[in-house]
Amino acid sequence: MGAEKYEVDLGNLMAFDPSHHFQSVPSSREELAKACIGKGTELVQSIANALFSLPASADPEGPLVKLPPSATRLPREKHFPKPKPPTKWEEFAKMKGIKNRKKDKRVFDEQTDTWKRRYGYDRVNDDRDVPIIEAKMTDEPGEDPFSKRQSEKKQRVEKQEKNRLQNLKQAMKADALPSHVQLAATALPITGTKREVPKKQAEKNLRV
């Protein structure tokens, strides 16, 4: 009876009676509370009518009912996650049409005649497994080819790290850093290296 005159929002289990108006507000608190609860019971009953007529699925804890999406729209807590800008490599690969191909994890190592990992521990083409590097005509005399190989590797790693930081900086500008990454200044600028007082202000100070 009268279920239609209430606005029921099942998603929030809320009912609202916009038509109710107190003729005269009850003078005593008990009467007021009683009147409110009496009206509230009607409203709750109308929610229950709608709720219990939804299809329920059995569960050992009790019947489960799927609630419809809520009609009252409430604000979000935080903004939507922003899309990450493409890295320099991703941009380049897109321009050139390079696609990622799956590579085997295990590779045959010709130095040791065994199958080894492509990257990481016990990897293929490890520096320690190269016993001989053949001399070339272009080699400079007096240079250790083994240490040269090592330093080149080090440089490549450093370059990659630099690129990674650059890409993270770009992501930070777009406000799309992964949630667990923070970029922090390693050191504050040393006082004295930068001009502390803006030029205009300095002039003003001189006049006074």
Residue numbers at the binding site for other proteins (CB under 8 A): 12-22, 25, 29, 32-33, 36-37, 39-41, 43-45, 47-49, 51-53, 56, 59, 61-67, 69-70, 72-81, 164-165, 168-169, 179-187
Q: CA torsion, points 112, 117, 118, 122, in degrees to nearest 10?
A: -70
CB of 157 to other proteins, least distance (A): 15
CB of 131 to other proteins, least distance (A): 38
Q: How far apart are CA 117 and CA 97, in angstroms?
A: 28
Count of positions (residues) in the chain:
208
**Closer residue to other proteins in complex, CB, 45/111:** 45
CB of 50 to other proteins, least distance (A): 9
**Closer residue to other proteins in complex, CB, 70/125:** 70
Query: 117 near 107, Cβ under 8 Å?
Result: yes
CB of 104 to other proteins, least distance (A): 27
**Closer residue to other proteins in complex, CB, 124/171:** 171
Token readout for 114 is 């065994």
Query: 35 near 26, Cβ under 8 Å?
Result: yes
Please identify which residue in the block is written with the tokens 């001989």: 132
CB of 85 to other proteins, least distance (A): 17
**Closer residue to other proteins in complex, CB, 13/93:** 13
Which DSSP state fits 180?
T
**Closer residue to other proteins in complex, CB, 2/18:** 18
Query: b/e per residue, 141-176, with b = 16+ CB within 10 A?
Result: eeeeeeeeeeeeeeeeeeeeeeeeeebbebbeeeee
CB of 173 to other proteins, least distance (A): 12
Query: Which residues are within 8 A (CB) of 159 and not within 5 positions of it... i.e. 6 or more apart?
Result: none
**Closer residue to other proteins in complex, CB, 159/204:** 159
